[in-house]
């Protein structure tokens, strides 16, 4: 077994721990798991942030973890057309491999997912970096609607199959 895949390797232990935590504590806003044949590559499906032109959209991306994880940050690439990030291009945001000096080993895959969701609605030059694009709001909304049926070529599932629609529970009280 190669050193990078040795079960005693600290990166492998950490990745397995994070995968277990995400599986045991699911979130309605995202789902994520490592690939079966490569635990250093994760696929994640994320809902567009509420109150933005991405609301209603469901976006699929890759998280590539380095062999030195968690001491070095992940790389993130969007796979679903979205109007905010280039496709199949490593994104330059504060918690990715472009900014190793800002990464904290206490952070993890969940931190990166939540952070990415926060970067979707940012506008202006301050929010633009490698991998960013600026599409008109109308195009982002159109892409959000189309994103639900987008199929990942590796997972062979639509985004909605990866992250089913939220259930809304209504509670009625007797008065």
List all residues 6 or more positions away from 69 whose beta carbon is below 8 Å from its beta carbon. Answer: 11, 14, 15, 40
Residues forming the active site: 92
CATH number of 3-162: 3.10.110.10
pTM of the model: 0.84
Cβ-contact 148, 160 below 8 angstroms: yes
Tens-digit pLDDT profile for residues 67-99: 999 999 999 999 999 999 999 998 887 777 767
For residue 128, pLDDT over 80 is answered with no
Tokens standing for residue 69: 């994880």
């Amino acid at each position: 077994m190669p050193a990078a895949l040795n079960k005693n390797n600290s990166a492998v232990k950490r990745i397995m721990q994070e995968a277990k935590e995400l599986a045991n504590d699911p979130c309605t806003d995202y789902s994520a798991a490592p690939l079966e044949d490569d635990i250093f590559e994760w696929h994640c499906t994320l809902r567009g942030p509420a109150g933005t032109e991405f609301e209603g959209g469901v976006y699929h991306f890759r998280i590539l973890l380095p062999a030195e994880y968690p001491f070095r940050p992940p790389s993130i690439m969007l796979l679903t057309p979205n109007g905010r990030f280039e496709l199949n291009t490593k994104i330059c945001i504060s918690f990715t491999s472009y900014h190793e000096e800002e990464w904290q080993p206490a952070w993890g895959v969940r931190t990166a997912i939540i952070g990415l969701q926060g970067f979707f609605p940012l506008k202006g030059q301050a929010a633009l970096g490698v991998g960013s694009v600026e599409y008109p709001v109308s195009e982002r909304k159109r892409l959000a609607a189309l994103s639900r049926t987008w199929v990942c070529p590796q997972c062979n599932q639509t985004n909605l199959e990866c992250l089913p629609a939220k259930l809304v529970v209504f509670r009625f009280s007797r008065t």
